[in-house]
Amino acid sequence: VKNRRTVPSMKSWKKGHSRTIVLAATVIFSVAAVVFAWAFFFPLLQIYQESSSLSSLAKDVGATSTDGTPSIDWQTLQQTNSDVVGWLSVSGTSISLPVCKKDEGGSWYLSHDLSGQNSTVGVPFIDDRSSPEGPHTLIYGHHITGTDAAFSSLQSCYEQSAFDSLGDLSWTTPQDDLVSATPLCSFEVTSDYAEIQDFEFSGDDELRLWLSTMVSQATAISSSADEQCATATRVFTLVTCSSDEAGQPYRTLVLFTA
């Protein structure tokens, strides 16, 4: 008698085939879920770690004294990075950060941290046409959706309610210069907005006239804007992205006067 194999029924074959398909789909789905979770959560973890590092640095260099006045250990800070030219704090926000400046290629700090490593958060930096001590100091910082990293807390300050929550800006430099500035106005612009890129003025009168022009375009304005414009001798402009999606051309400008 010849050996004969039992031929499986079509029903059994379909059942086994279905199990294989389900198993393969489960594996594919699980792998996809892991990849998605990694792609989504890893950047957030990186942002958290970088923000924590900056917060730790703020404590290490003594970013605020007991009375709330910035008191920086500049020797320690500049040993970390000699490009640091100031320390910026804005009450009512999480902003208490070092600020860097490169004479050329200042935007390098959009994607690098204080130690020169690639970074999502980066470091706030001064426009290379601007100055830490000049009449108009223009400072850029990232907005990272869902976090308070860098300048994220300024994103919606072109709206009056968000603007009204801002406190004064404190700016201190290695020369121990300390400037306190009051929020003046805020508005949303495109990234090529040219009028904010004025850094040299013939005197206070020209600066104040320029400020009045900025206020006339603003969507959020201080209740004392007229008085601030009439007495200002310095202005700080903080710039960040206003869109939740990366790569968009819109920016939030927040101006403070001293």
Check residue 175 and give its pLDDT: 86
124 contacts 151 by C-beta, under 8 angstroms: yes
| Letter string b/e over residues 62-89, b meaning 16 or more CB atoms within 10 A of that residue's CB | ebbeeeeebbbeeeebbeebebbbbbbb
76 contacts 60 by C-beta, under 8 angstroms: yes
Separation CA 167–CA 163 (nearest Å) = 9
Give 201's contacts (C-beta < 8 A, 6+ positions apart): 135, 136, 207, 210
pTM of the predicted protein model: 0.78
> Could you give the 3-state DSSP secondary structure of residue 85?
strand
pLDDT in single tens digits along all 258 residues of the chain: 455 555 555 555 555 666 666 666 665 655 554 444 444 444 555 555 666 666 666 666 665 554 555 578 888 888 889 999 999 999 999 899 999 998 776 789 988 988 888 988 889 999 999 999 999 999 999 988 888 888 999 999 999 999 999 999 999 999 878 999 999 999 999 999 999 999 999 999 999 999 999 999 999 999 999 999 999 999 999 999 998 887 899 999 999 999
Tell me the chain's radius of gyration from C-alpha atoms. 26
